[in-house]
Amino acid sequence: MILYNGHKFSTGSEAMANEVYVAGVGMTKFGKSDRSLSEMMVEAATKAFRDARVRSIDYMLIGVMNAEEFTGESNVAAMIADQLGLSGVPSSRVETASSTGSAVFEAGFYAIASGYHRNVLIIAGEKMTHLPTARTTKILAEVIERRERSYGASMPALAAMITQRYQYEAGLSAERLQSVLAKVAIKNHYNGSLNPYAQFRKLISESDYLNSKWVATPLRTYDCAPITDGAVAVVLTSDRRLVKISGLGHATDTLAVRHRDSLTSFRSTRLAAYQAYTMAKVNPQDVSFAEVHDAFTMFEIIGTEDLGFFPAKEGWMAVEEGITSIKGKLPINPSGGLKARGHPVGASGLAQIAEVVWQLRGEVEPARQVSGARIGLTQNIGGLANNNLVVILERTDRYRAIPVYWKPQFDPGKTEPRETFDSEPEVNTGTVETFTTLYTTPEGVPSPLHLAFVRTDLGQMILTRSHEGGLTIGQKVQLEKEGEYLYIRPIASPGTVTEGIKQWLRGSLPFPRRKEENP
């Protein structure tokens, strides 16, 4: 019914938008904090305001993912304005799950580009560490589509299944996958060790990695970003400054992972990147360095592929070859990333932007300064990659020649969602697409939990549970309904659709087609 024109630029007769610059940046140290959300936000805002040297703030935007459940606060936009002594100044809260930090930045960009505001204060933060881990995991899992959530799937569980599938599609052995993921973690911890704002400042070795606990196979503790408190603030202005916002992209994807065409590439990143590159008239090879959303080590690798830095299923090679290291050709996550800097969910996107600003200004510690940084990019994932943003920032002190007939050399690939159907499966056999064993389960779900995405023999993708681990991708399985869940059981030969089970499956739900069959 509703069409989407695939890119964000209307080519009508609009007025020319204002340019938007970063005037100031401020940040709290990330980690476990005894302070409240508003205290952290006030600290970050005060630092950013001091850095910005602007005379006034016309508008404020607050990014927080879930203050309601993490801290019991509502009405946060007005609260923060009040705490800053800015009551009077208009203030709105913006939220897009874990990409909130970028989405609130985007809203600030439009407010200035519109010409209605000159200086906009953007603050993003989250307070998470005071709750038990199982409770935090449950709150974070509320971003997951209801049916997948009902099976006990948490963010790490879904990320683990994506990782398992990547291993299969890239043709990696289990050992090589572990070695690659370890290298991402080691690199980001190394960068984090140089960043005074980072939650983790200790170096880790491959054996530390291999000795860390399984969260959800094949992901270990060191593959997952930690639970973190922190806040970041940025002042945007229409007055010319050193760093300019040159590109901005934002795209959603299906809420359910099972509705996607690919498990190992994120359409929302590709679409957002396409928009950002086109707006900035920049190609992937022009980017000096990037902050990529590494909530899970594998997501950094997938991110670098979806952003067009490396071909699909080859991002892992760039890690092995050190290309993404701080002294490599394309440093990824010089800040330490979500992995080492920490991941206060609503703040991470803005922390990525803060790092890019500092890098472009040449203000970070020498050991992690990207030399000659001119164009920096951030990629921020919302939910399980269904609300992603890409931001491109650029130094304005040198002229950049843009060819008159500039064209993007970036191909976003297939950007239409898969045709999906969500009725109860009409066949009781299928093939394992990917799987995991989840150890750190959400509040109320028994551990360990074996989960698998299965493609039924009629082509439908479903999430299932299994009583046993030891599954393999491509394995034939039988589906059995137990209580409210579908369970899988390995079968030696392709199964047949027994009419009895089919009817029993149908009988357990108000299946639309039944009406026609039995009017």
Task: Scan residues 76-105 and list those touching a copy of itself (CB under 8 A).
Answer: 77-79, 81-82, 84-97, 103
Pick the stretch among 162-170, 189-197, 249-257, 441-449 that binds a copy of itself (CB under 8 A): 249-257
> Least distance (Å) from a copy of itself to the CB of residue 19?
9
Q: Is 322 in the site for a copy of itself (CB under 8 A)?
A: no
The pairs formed by 475-481 with CB atoms below 8 angstroms and a separation of 24 or more are 475/431, 475/432, 476/429, 476/430, 476/431, 477/429, 477/430, 477/431, 477/432, 477/452, 478/428, 478/429, 479/425, 479/427, 479/428, 479/429, 479/430, 479/454, 480/428, 481/505, 481/508
Distance (Å, rounded) from C-alpha 143 to C-alpha 97? 7
Q: Are strands 243-252 and 21-27 parallel, antiparallel or unpaired?
A: antiparallel
**Any bridge partners for residue 59, and if so which?**
120
Q: Give the nearer residue to a copy of itself in terms of CB position, either 59 or 358.
A: 59
What are the b/e assignments for 97-117, b being 16+ CB within 10 Å?
bbbbbbbbbbbbbebbbeeeb
Which of positions 497-516 make contact with a copy of itself (CB under 8 A)?
A: none
Which of positions 285-304 make contact with a copy of itself (CB under 8 A)?
A: none
Q: Give the nearer residue to a copy of itself in terms of CB position, either 274 or 289.
A: 274
Q: Give the nearer residue to a copy of itself in terms of CB position, either 60 or 360.
A: 60
Eight-class DSSP state of 435: E
> Least distance (Å) from a copy of itself to the CB of residue 245?
11
> Least distance (Å) from a copy of itself to the CB of residue 238?
6
Which of positions 142-201 make contact with a copy of itself (CB under 8 A)?
A: 142-145
Which of positions 355-414 make contact with a copy of itself (CB under 8 A)?
A: 382-383, 386-387, 389
> Least distance (Å) from a copy of itself to the CB of residue 69?
5
Pick the stretch among 205-213, 244-252, 292-300, 325-333 that binds a copy of itself (CB under 8 A): 244-252
Chosen residue from 175, 416, 484, 516 binding a copy of itself by CB under 8 A = 416
Binding mask 32-71 for a copy of itself (x = CB under 8 A): -------------xx--x-----xxxxx-----xx-xx--
Residues 6+ apart with CB under 8 A from 99: 293, 349, 380, 381, 382, 383, 387, 388, 389
Which of positions 12-31 make contact with a copy of itself (CB under 8 A)?
A: 12, 14-18
Q: Is 10 in the site for a copy of itself (CB under 8 A)?
A: yes
Chosen residue from 158, 177, 184, 271 binding a copy of itself by CB under 8 A = 271
- Extract the tokens encoding 199: 């939650």
- Extract the tokens encoding 191: 């960068």
> Least distance (Å) from a copy of itself to the CB of residue 458?
22
Sign of the four-CA dihedral 151, 154, 158, 160: negative
User: SS3 for 277?
Assistant: helix
Chosen residue from 29, 32, 110, 478 binding a copy of itself by CB under 8 A = 110
What are the b/e assignments for 467-501, b being 16+ CB within 10 Å?
eeeebebebbbebebeeeebbbeeeeeebeeeeeb
Q: How far is CA 15 from CA 12, 91, 328, in A?
A: 9, 26, 42
> Least distance (Å) from a copy of itself to the CB of residue 460?
17
Using CB under 8 A, count the residues that bind a copy of itself.
Answer: 92
Which of positions 251-270 make contact with a copy of itself (CB under 8 A)?
A: 251-256, 259, 267-268
Distance (Å, rounded) from C-alpha 465 to C-alpha 270? 31
Contact 497, 429 (CB under 8 A): yes
Q: Give the nearer residue to a copy of itself in terms of CB position, either 219 or 233.
A: 233
Q: Is 239 in the site for a copy of itself (CB under 8 A)?
A: yes
Q: Give the nearer residue to a copy of itself in terms of CB position, either 138 or 450.
A: 138
Contact 389, 266 (CB under 8 A): no
> Least distance (Å) from a copy of itself to the CB of residue 279?
8
Q: Give the nearer residue to a copy of itself in terms of CB position, either 344 or 383.
A: 383
> Least distance (Å) from a copy of itself to the CB of residue 55?
6
> Least distance (Å) from a copy of itself to the CB of residue 112?
8
Chosen residue from 238, 304, 348, 436 binding a copy of itself by CB under 8 A = 238
Give the largest Cα separation in the chain, rounded: 75
Distance (Å, rounded) from C-alpha 472 to C-alpha 330? 35
Contact 393, 22 (CB under 8 A): yes
CA atoms within 13 A on the CB side of 449: 27
> Least distance (Å) from a copy of itself to the CB of residue 192?
27
- Extract the tokens encoding 466: 């299994």
